[in-house]
Amino acid sequence: MKAPEWPALPSLLNPPGAPDNGDEATPPEDVIFGVSPAMQQVRTRLERIAPTNIPILITGESGTGKEVIARLIHRRSNWASGPLVKVNCPAIPGSLLESELFGYEKGAFTGANLSKPGRVELAHEGTLFLDEIGELDPGLQSKLLQLLQENCFMRLGAQQESRVHMRFLCATNRHLEAEVEAGRFRQDLYYRINVVSLSLPPLRERAQDIPVLVDYFLRQFSARYERPLEPLTPAQMAMLRAYGWPGNLRELENQIKSYVVLGTLQRVENESPHRSADAGARLAGEISPDGSFPLKNVTRQAIHEMEREIILKVLEANQWNRKQTAQVLRISYRALLYKLKEAGITRRRGSLAVQSPSEPAA
């Protein structure tokens, strides 16, 4: 059966382009939200606030899918028939951002040979999405506050204000409360854009969703690069679920793209625990006094080291829920308890204690 042709996941780091209707490049909702409790909470909250006209602040680390959520909010809002206009604030130099936002009249400055509408005007009767709003300089913060309060703005060089009607969505990977306390972000603007917030969890806190995302990316890139669809092995999937993903969805997307083209999970494998110096030091102890290197013993020890580290990572990814960890690893709960005891892995009052199998239990 032919795989469904889903649209590609939009790039979170691309500079803003022309207005669109919010449907382009939006993945299916089952892919966006997955199965994790954290994302299901986001879904429930989004369904309640999307049809309203209140401003929404979307927060989360870089690469967690804030733009995807913004598109979905627009698509479900009363402004869906209008454009979705994106502004990537840090991608446009501060000296140009004001004219990009508000536009300018002919002769407003040297080189302004024609009048040009800004992104605010283009978003009329639609949605204005300001990505990484924490990067705005104080002068622009003041003008944006006026726009939010009065729905009015003025082009550079204009003599009178213009009125617009739109939905405001903002996103940031910064802690704006700290920015307000440090004097880098206006408190009154913060309260204006943060009427309702949506906090997106990092990928490491929603490891249950990785199989759904991997399947989506595999189908997309296999079709794009005309490569056969090669599902990951259970061991590879366990490795992905145990990895920390500092780059979140973007890093996972690039990793699967590399896998489709090259056939390896090189980055994750290179950073996997069994390559650590500690494991190497323990393996060195397998060398016999006569200088021989018993391959069978070394191989067995290497497997134990890798197994122990994978179990640790999966435990951490699942907040130390042992039953859930056993399901992820596709072993029985009893088998997991045995392996934890064998590896000397315990958790004491929120901390972690790991012993070498040869060390006595505390």
Kindly state the greatest CA–CA separation across the chain: 91
Q: Which of the four pLDDT bands, split at 50, 70 and 90, describes residue 296?
A: low
Which superfamily is assigned to 29-201 in CATH? P-loop containing nucleotide triphosphate hydrolases (3.40.50.300)
The yes-or-no verdict on residue 12 having pLDDT over 60 is no
Fold of 204-270: Helicase, Ruva Protein; domain 3 (1.10.8)
Q: Residues 113-151: pLDDT tens digits?
A: 888 899 999 999 999 999 999 999 988 999 999 999 999
User: If you average pLDDT over residues 24-39, what whole number do you get?
Assistant: 88
Q: Residues 73-90: pLDDT tens digits?
A: 999 999 999 999 999 999
The yes-or-no verdict on residue 354 having pLDDT over 50 is no
The yes-or-no verdict on residue 343 having pLDDT over 50 is yes
The yes-or-no verdict on residue 31 having pLDDT over 50 is yes
Cα separations in angstroms, 114 against 95, 156, 241, 254: 19, 12, 53, 41
Q: Which of the four pLDDT bands, split at 50, 70 and 90, describes residue 222?
A: very high
The yes-or-no verdict on residue 6 having pLDDT over 60 is no
* pTM for this prediction: 0.70
**Residue 149 CB neighbours (<10 A):** 11
The yes-or-no verdict on residue 355 having pLDDT over 70 is no
Alpha-carbon radius of gyration of the chain: 26
Fold of 273-354: Arc Repressor Mutant, subunit A (1.10.10)
The yes-or-no verdict on residue 286 having pLDDT over 60 is no
User: If you average pLDDT over residues 291-301, what whole number do you get?
Assistant: 58
User: If you average pLDDT over residues 14-36, what whole number do you get?
Assistant: 68
- As given in the structure block, the two tokens for residue 255 are 């990793």
| CA 258/CA 48 separation, integer angstroms | 38
Give me the pLDDT at residue 148, please: 93
Judge if 204-270 and 273-354 fold alike in CATH terms: no
Burial 282-307 (b: 16+ CB within 10 A, else e): bbeebeeeeeeeeeeeeeebbebbbb
User: If you average pLDDT over residues 216-221, what whole number do you get?
Assistant: 95
Give me the pLDDT at residue 272, please: 56
Poorest-pLDDT segment among 213-227, 246-260, 281-295, 312-326: 281-295
Residues 6+ apart with CB under 8 A from 293: 286, 287
- The full set of domain ranges for the chain reads 29-201, 204-270, 273-354
